[in-house]
Structure 1
Amino acid sequence: MSKFVLVAARKGKEILDSEYRDFIKSTGLLPTQLDHVVLDSESAEVGDLSSYDGIFVGGSPFNVMDENYAPEQSHVQAQLMTLLHLPVPKMFVCFGQSLLTFELGGVVGSSYSEPAGSTVVELTEAAQADPLLQGLPRQFEALTGHTESVEKLPEGAVLLATGPTCPVQMFRLGEDTWACQFHAEMDAQGLEARMLYYLNKGYFDPAEFDNIMSRVKQVDTSDVKRILHNFVAFAAD
């Protein structure tokens, strides 16, 4: 039986449990197949993850553009970067895309931030041969919400998806590491939980909560979830 792990870089049992449920629902994995490593302090470590078939790195409230990192943020980001060198397929979501870009010499900024809600994702020509993007239409909707975004790819990164409001939606490093700006793991229920938890953190106007939820409940997330199913199949092969 294949075995995966979700590495979470956030605090709070409620939101940690919600994120874990999102990955269970969207990947089709059983709870016995998805372990949970939480980096929520200066002493928390990822440990040895080399025996897993695949690694998911979830989002985080951290921002790589912050001028002064708290010791915890510096520690957590350093821990996450150690995963890059493991010979295991890896999928970094949202914050992870900014982190990889920033640490590997690309440019992260705030020019293409997107409020919580839906976004249009468009696949590039390079995506046609990528194993995670097989069976997807050239354009689809995904759920998102971020204050930072990639403005220049790190060296060697292959752009796989773009969009009208965010030019770097997904890229690949080498043959076993992917990063996406959108939340492939979330549906409307998952986004609602995330929005409630981070209500006043600048991801959206709280006065627009009901309007946002009304719109995202109409979004079909079946296409974007195929990315995670493809990742599981690729990693387990």
Structure 2
Amino acid sequence: MRPFLLLSTRAEDEAAIGEHGAVARFAGLSPDELRHVRVEAAAMPALDLSDYSGVILGGGPFNSSDPDKSELQLRVEADLRRVLTEVLADDLPFLGLCYGVGTVTTQLGGVVDREFGEPVSAVDIRLTDAGRRDHLLAELAALPGGFTAFVGHKEAVSRLPDGAVLLATGTECPVQMFRVGANCYVTQFHPELDGPGIGLRIQVYKHNGYFRPEETQSLLATTSAATITPQVHSILRRFAQRYAR
């Protein structure tokens, strides 16, 4: 089997390594089946995407709508644009987690801004009719109601790009997941996060403006007690199973 490719933008080793481990675990992949490229660490090497079964873009501290961007962020965005240009042109298998919403939406001319940001929390999400018909969401569609997943983002989509199919929505954030073409998916929520995973992110990013640092312990307690719908992780597994080649 050709490996999957995980593109990461997290400068903190603990968060980057944790993300790779979580994505591999919930996708049902061994570490060797998920190549990890840390885009923030160095200029992205030349990639032949035909060498991979699919591409997964992890989350991170960058925001597409940031008014002032560092040279590092601008370089990361340029590297990702080159990958996304090929992904979107050839309708290659792609799954963007949180940060992927901003990158894909911006690339396709939609609007990403600060209107629908959500604090670090567990939120209720519901599938649209199109989401209930999508193969990647079959296990969630089989549930009688919606589902609960972890979120934490400063920006969100306020206008979908042309041609995007809305798959999941929420009360505070109307765009929680969409698809472009047949094979390009992005989620605003985090299908790779469980209780320990969100706890690690809270510790690592407690000074990044998602919440006040003095709220760390109470937020850890709240998220630890949250009940996440187990089937939310099936998105990663079904992505890997469908596109492995």
TM-score computed with the length of structure 1 as normaliser: 0.93
% identical aligned pairs: 38
- Residue correspondences, number: 237
The whole-number CA distance in structure 1 between the counterparts of 2:212 and 2:11 is 22
**1:45, 1:79 within 8 Å by CA — same for their partners in 2?**
no
The whole-number CA distance in structure 1 between the counterparts of 2:16 and 2:43 is 18
Unmatched 5+ stretches in structure 2: none
The whole-number CA distance in structure 1 between the counterparts of 2:65 and 2:146 is 30
Q: Which residue of 2 aligns with 1:168?
A: 175
SS of alignment partner, residue 135 of structure 1: helix
Q: Which residue of 1 aligns with 2:230?
A: 222
Question: 1:1-237 counterparts in 2 under 5 A?
Answer: 1-41=1-41, 43-45=43-45, 47-84=47-84, 85-86=86-87, 87=90, 88-136=92-140, 137=143, 138-217=145-224, 218-236=226-244
The whole-number CA distance in structure 1 between the counterparts of 2:60 and 2:204 is 12
SS of alignment partner, residue 186 of structure 2: strand
Q: CA deviation at 1:21?
A: 1.3
Q: CA deviation at 1:182?
A: 0.6
SS of alignment partner, residue 120 of structure 2: strand
How large is the RMSD of aligned CA atoms in angstroms? 1.7
Q: CA deviation at 1:2?
A: 4.7
**1:46, 1:80 within 8 Å by CA — same for their partners in 2?**
no
Give deviations 1:105-153, integer Å, cap 9, x for gaps: 1111111111112111110001122111112134100011100011000
The whole-number CA distance in structure 2 between the counterparts of 1:125 and 1:40 is 37
Task: Point out the structure with the larger helix share.
Answer: 2
Q: CA deviation at 1:46?
A: 5.8
Unmatched 5+ stretches in structure 1: none
**2:125, 2:146 within 8 Å by CA — same for their partners in 1?**
yes
Structure 1 window deviating more from structure 2 (197-206 vs 144-153): it is 197-206
